[in-house]
Structure 1
Amino acid sequence: MSNVLILGAHGQIASLARTQLLQETNHHLTLFLRNAQRIKHVDASRETVIDGDATDAQQLTTAMQGIDVVYANLGNARIEDQARAVVTAMNNAGIKRLIWISTLGIYDEVPGSFGRWNHQMLDGGYLEHYAAAAQVIEASDLNYTIIRPAWLSNRDVVDYETTQKGEPFKGTEVSRKSIADYVVNLINDPAKEVRHSVGVNQPHTDGSKPSFY
């Protein structure tokens, strides 16, 4: 059993990962989020809920006491500040293992017409923040895995493949359920993909943009 801290625990991928972890493992989950009353149906024997701000390193340090794995499902214009706070708190708490959700395109690794479309959609205040946050994580001495999902769908399917940093990104889309499954696999095997940045897509979804656009 591991003690897992989920940052941004009300997010869609985090909610799916939480459900899967409760169903398939005996890990204890600490759910950290703003407005914690949004979390419903808490299993008091398996879950602890903390209302907090992911840009506050002291709050994060307190939440990380006794934690084995940190899974960060954060995002917004302050994600670089969140990354700095998470790294500081993990260093303060003496924790090494971090699973960090980012996005495709932070290394300009998406080829062809889809790459151009992705830049048009994400440049100008989104991609730049996620790229800066990833740089903070990669500059740390943490045992991180950065996950770079393709464009996300709510399809009820688990089907994905991966690429590594330095390789061209594949595909255009992936289900949130697939990303949640990948996160759970990393939590269950914390030595996997350490200090790697991994692109995740659904096979056979190549094109100039996702099917739902």
Structure 2
Amino acid sequence: MKVIIFGAAGRAGRAIVTEALAAGHDVTAAVRDPAKLPPVDRLTVARADVRDPDSVRAVVAGHDAVISAIGPAGRHANGLYSDAARAVIPAMESAGVPRLIAITSSGVRRDDPNHALWYRCLARTLMNELYGDMRLMESRISESTVDWTFVRPTRLTDDPPTATYRVQDGETPSGGWKVPVTDVARFIVEELDGHRWSHAAPTLAQ
């Protein structure tokens, strides 16, 4: 499969690139600054900015699937996620690219019954703007014609992968609050072929 990954220079994006290449996919890393990615065999690096629809349109064509691993440097999105939806969806639809897997967060669902009290407070205060923009991105994507999946991990860690994480559609697994980033990357790559979570929001936690 020919896969393009936006946000490939970030923490989750790099993990997804590694796992997608290991699975034998042809991978394009779409980044604002190609110099941030070291040369890797079989990896194509393309310059693109999700806030620039023309640059997105130029790199999306010819792929079978898009993975969004974008994220801001801090806790404020400043419209990054919703801007990405405005750029990526029209580019995919015009180029006939059918599949989109986008990373958001378990914090997107305000009324998740399994959120701890401390997390509910955090999500409604310090992280409110960030999660609000993620919700806006999800809304715009879900109204499109693409085959979407929203992967909503709990807190990402750099712990070794366990393969024992739990997944629930649209709801945090009870008691879960973290998950290794490599586990999330492997889940996404498996979903490229599996299509088990089409038009769903799998939420991942240990």
Match for residue 177 of structure 1?
A: 182
Report the counterpart of residue 111 of structure 1 in structure 2.
Answer: 115
What per-residue deviation string (whole Å, max 9, x for no partner) do you get for residues 70-122 of structure 1? 01101232211111111111111111100000011212124342442442564
**Contact 1:31 1:49 (8 Å CA) reproduced:** yes
Question: Which residues of 2 match residues 60-209 of structure 1 at below 5 A?
Answer: 60-76=56-72, 77=77, 78-108=80-110, 109=112, 110-119=114-123, 122-158=126-162, 159-165=164-170, 167=171, 169-170=173-174, 171-189=176-194, 191-202=195-206
8 Å contact kept, 1:114–1:172: no
CA–CA distance in structure 2, aligned partners of residues 18 and 127 of structure 1: 25
Task: Work out the CA distance in 2 between the residues paired with 1:169 and 1:135.
Answer: 23
Q: Secondary structure at the match of 1:125?
A: helix
| Aligned-CA RMSD value | 1.7
Task: Give me the TM-score of the superposition, normalised by structure 2.
Answer: 0.88
Shift of the 50–105 alpha-carbon distance from structure 1 to 2, 3 Å rule, reads same
Given that 2:100 and 2:147 are in contact with CA atoms closer than 8 Å, whether structure 1 keeps it comes out as yes
Count of aligned pairs between the two proteins: 196
Q: Give unmatched runs, 5+ long, in structure 1.
A: 203-213
**Secondary structure of 1:70 counterpart:** strand
Counterpart Cα distance in 2 of 1:132 and 1:197: 14
Say whether 1:41 aligns with 2:39: yes
Letter of the structure 2 residue corresponding to residue 19 of structure 1: T
Q: After superposition, give the CA deviation of every residue in 1:185-205 in whole Å (9 maximum; x if it has no partner).
A: 11232x221111111111xxx
Identity among equivalent positions (%) equals 26
The one-letter code matched in structure 1 to 2:167 is T
With structure 1 as the length reference, what TM-score do the two structures score? 0.85
- CA contact under 8 A between 2:101 and 2:188: conserved in structure 1? yes
Following the alignment from structure 1 to structure 2, what is the Cα–Cα distance between the partners of residues 19 and 84? 27
Task: Report the residue type matching 1:175 in the other structure.
Answer: P
Q: Moved runs in structure 1, 4+ residues, more than 4 A? A: none
Q: Which moved more, 1:169-178 or 1:118-127?
A: 118-127
Q: Aligned equivalents of 1:125 and 1:186: distance in 2?
A: 29
Q: Which stretch shifts more, 107-116 or 151-160?
A: 107-116
1:12-32 deviation line (CA, Å, top 9, x unaligned): 112112112222x22111110
Deviation at 1:157, TM superposition (A): 2.1
